[in-house]
Structures are given as C-alpha cells and as structure tokens.
Structure 1
Amino acid sequence: MRDLVAGVRYLGRGQRWVLTHGRWFGFGLLPALLTLVLYAAALAALGFWADDLATWATPFADDWSPPWPGLLRGVFAVLLWLGVLLLAVISFAAVALLVGELFYEKLSEKVEEAEGGLPDDMVEQSLWRELWIGLCDSVYVLGRALLFGVPLFFLGFLPVVGQSVVPALGFCVSGFFLTLELASVAMQRRGIDVRTRLRMLRDRKALALGFGVPLVLLFLVPVAAVFLMPGAVAGAALLVRDLVGEGGPEPAADGDEPAAAPAGTPYGPGGPHGVPG
C-alpha cells in the first residue's frame, strides 16, 4: 500500500514541478499536441470502420438468425475500439517520447538537476542512437503489452467478468506499461536496458501501478494527455530516482513516517544497471 500511495505522489509531484516551472511545461506540450492530433485521426478512422471490421472478422455469424449477428458484431466493434484505445494510451507516451526526444530528455534532466543532480555515471549518446534505442525499446514494450492485451480482449466477451474484472485488469496492464515507457527517459540516461527496467518495475509493481493507472484514466479524458504529458515525464524522473536509490525517502503525508527506499536494492549506484533480464 505504501508503494501504491508513493506512485500517486510521484505523479502529483511531477505535475506540480512543471506547473511551477511554466517554461518547461510549455516546452513539453508541443510533441504531445502533435501526437494527439495523429492519434485522434487514427481513432476516428477506426470508429468509422469498426462495423466493417467486425463484419469481416465474424463471417461465421452470417447465417445466424437475428438479432445475434448484430449483437455479436456490436460487442466486437466496441471491444475492438476500447482495446485499441487502451493500446493507444500505452503507445501515446512512446510515440510522444520519440517525437519529442530532445524536449523530454531536457525536461527530465532539469527535474533531476533540481531534485539532487544528474547521475554520476550518466550515459551520453548521439540523438540518432537514442532515437534508435527508444524505438527498439518501445517495440519491445508494445509486444509485451500485447501478450496481455490480446487475451484480455477475448476474455471481454465473457458475461459479467468481461464487463467488470477484465476492464480493471486492462487498466492495470496499461498503467504498468505506461509507467515503463515514461521511466525509460531517465533509465536510458543511466544505461539501464529495457529488460532490466521491466524487472525493476515488476519488483515494485504497486509503485508502477500507483503512478500509471491514474495516468491511464486521466489520459482517457479528451486532450488531457497533452497537458499531463510534461508532468508525467517529470514524475517518472522522480520515480526512477526512487527505484535506483538516488531519491532518498519518499515524502510522507502529514502524520506518517517517511517511506524509506527498500534496503539492498540492486539497482542503486554501483548496481548492475546494464545487466539484461
């Protein structure tokens, strides 16, 4: 529970940081706005063609008596659009980070400088090298997300469970991988490869979910992703400092004791940053 609350706090601290540094907030809006326009066009196109896709994917229902073909295809179209929407939420951060590599890298660095300094073992790479690594890492993360997303899509057809438990699991999966994408900016700076990032967040699932799930829900609000993206990058930088043991104890709520970082973490300074999982 402590990690879950800490994740929410990092998200809030990131939003507060950019709001109190207005120049960096505006700096981070541009790539997110461009990405939103591209995604809105794609989702609108999917909504327009969803019925045709449902008919194409269910030819076996052509001979069914009414109203079953229409009911099946309606459910299929809705689940397809919702599934793609959740996938879009996960990939939105990845695409925005690729589009705004220079913007978000600089923003993340400024956050770390203000919160204790950049890591001593910071890895310097060319822009094209960073873009290539970011693209490969995003494809890897998207593939892992699909391993969960595809089964959840088909489980969505189950009565009751498909309309209650499955959506909740979908938000958790989306939140976890969204956190992984956003944390990649600060982790790549430390030379931590994508498999190690995944293992680090698996070890602190509650922290990742506390940060990512509220963000997924907020990203579903039209246009909200554009305004939340700079703060999400800032909050992820703070979260990474916690994960690698550089951030100190997480500030506690009034009346609580500070939450110390887990003892013996193998990811702090001197730990195996680049060891693949």
Structure 2
Amino acid sequence: MARHPVQWLFGLIPALIVLAVYASALVVLAFQVDDLAGWVTPFADGWSEAARTSARVVAGIAIYGAAVFLAILTFTAVTLLIGDPFYEAIAVRVEESQGGAPPDPGDPLLVQIGRAVRDTVILATIALLFAAVFFACGFLPVVGQTVVPVVAACVSGYFLAGELTSVALERRGLRRRDRFALLKRNRPLAVGFGAATFVVFLIPLGAVLAMPGAVAGGTLLARERLAPDAEAAREDIGVAGQT
C-alpha cells in the first residue's frame, strides 16, 4: 500500500465512516460504564466501600474491554460490508500485481449484499458470545487481566483473518463456512496474521490507517499460502463444477 498511496487513501473512506460510528458508541459507553458496573454487581452493595469499589472497577474494565473486543472484531466485517467496492478494487489490484486475479464469480449485486449482511450478523453474534465469556473471565484475579486479553487477541485474530481473506477467497468460490474450514486447517498461520492485525488495530486510529494494508495482506495471504488448499476445498465441496 505504501507504493500505491492513492489506493491507500481510497481505502480509508469506509474505515473513517465506521470509525466515527464506533468511536461515538464507545465514548457514550465510557460515560455510562460506572452505572453499568454497578448494575452488574448488585451482590457488592453490602460490601465495605473498598471491596465494593474494587469489584466495580474490575467490572467496569471488563465491560469496556468486552466492548472494545466486540468493536475490533466487528469493525473489519462492517467496514468490508459498506466498503466492498473499495476493498474489492484493492484486492484485485494486489492480485494483478502478483500475476492475475481469478475471474469475478458474477453473482448479482443483491445476492452479494445479502450474503455479506448475513455473514456480518453471524460474526457479530459469535463475537457477542465470546465477549460475554471474556467479560465473565475478566473477574478472575490476575488471570482476568493477563491471560484473558491474550486469549481474546488470538480469538479476534482468527476471526479477523477470516474477514480479511474473505474477498480473495470468495473470488475463488468459497463461502463463509468453507473459508473458516480452510482457516482451521491453517490455524497457526491465521491466528498469527490476525493477532498481529488485532494489535495494530488497538493503536489509536490504527484500524483506520491500517485497514487498506490489512486487506492487501489478507489477499496476499489467501493467494500465496491458502490458494492450494482453497483449490482442494473447492473440489471437495463441488464449487468448481458449479462455477
């Protein structure tokens, strides 16, 4: 992306739109987190002031941490959804620079939009379930503030890799279930790429500035490391024959 600054600026537009919405929601949450912490810890009402305050600080950190986890995990899916033409163009440009892009599957636009919305809703539901688990684990002494964030980064990384490789893998005929089956066969690779991206996204404005490069990286990952397995997966599910 550094060699194609126009493409990079082009890819910032949808990310900036989603950032504005997400940042507003997180700011509102920050002002409400004390009340929410009190609401989820009614059992601490009769405790001493120090113990009650400690419990609600931990609860507040867990609530906000779960919200940030959910935001980062869904940020990519939502940005890809509203910025599909932008990131499709970047992915094709990357593929062509490496020897050529597979042909467009030719699905009608409404079908593509419906599929993208469905995948985003499914991912958001899964993210909510994981966020609830990490929220609960955040109350564990020491472990909740050390091990849990690392596990959350790895889980987020796995799903981020699935989203960032989706453009290139869909051009190869793989849908959501088949894409994640492919990533499961290459889990360490997917987690490594995705967790590194997750850490970059934690940096203020990192998700916006790095989004075009993340899509380019996901495209290269799919092309160079997953493509052979993708072809095998297509044969397994009969997609090659259908397309």
Same fold (TM over 0.5): yes
**Aligned partners of 2:209 and 2:72: how far apart in 1?**
14
**Aligned partners of 2:140 and 2:232: how far apart in 1?**
44
Structure 2 unmatched ranges of 5 or more:
none
In structure 2, what is the equivalent of residue 48 of structure 1? 31
In structure 2, what is the equivalent of residue 175 of structure 1? 157
Match 2:192 to one of 181, 186, 210: 210
Deviations 1:69-98 (A, max 9, x none): 221111101111011111111111111111
In structure 2, what is the equivalent of residue 22 of structure 1? 5
Tell me, yes or no, if structure 1 residue 95 matches structure 2 residue 59. no
In structure 1, what is the equivalent of residue 216 of structure 2? 234
Q: What SS is found at the alignment partner of 1:244?
A: helix
Compare 79-88 and 145-154 and name the one that shifted more: 145-154
**Aligned partners of 2:144 and 2:107: how far apart in 1?**
45
Q: Which amino acid aligns with 2:207?
A: A
Match 1:162 to one of 122, 135, 144: 144
**Aligned partners of 1:189 and 1:215: how far apart in 2?**
22
Q: Which amino acid aligns with 1:28?
A: G
Compare 33-42 and 57-66 and name the one that shifted more: 57-66
Structure 1 unmatched ranges of 5 or more:
1-17, 246-264
In structure 2, what is the equivalent of residue 272 of structure 1? 236
- Total equivalences in the alignment: 238
Q: Is the 8 A contact 1:138 1:181 kept in 2?
A: no
In structure 1, what is the equivalent of residue 127 of structure 2? 145
**Aligned partners of 1:267 and 1:80: how far apart in 2?**
42
Displacement, 1:25? 0.9
Deviations 1:153-174 (A, max 9, x none): 2112111211211111011001
Which runs of structure 2 are paired with 1:193-208 in the superposition (5 Å)? 193-208=175-190
Q: When you count helix as a share of all residues, which structure comes out higher?
A: 2
In structure 2, what is the equivalent of residue 255 of structure 1? none
Larger RCO (CA within 8 A; separation ≥ 6): 1
**Aligned partners of 2:132 and 2:235: how far apart in 1?**
35
**Aligned partners of 1:24 and 1:78: how far apart in 2?**
38
Match 1:69 to one of 49, 52, 55: 52
Displacement, 1:65? 2.4
Q: Is the 8 A contact 2:169 2:179 kept in 1?
A: yes
Displacement, 1:268? 4.1
Displacement, 1:193? 1.4
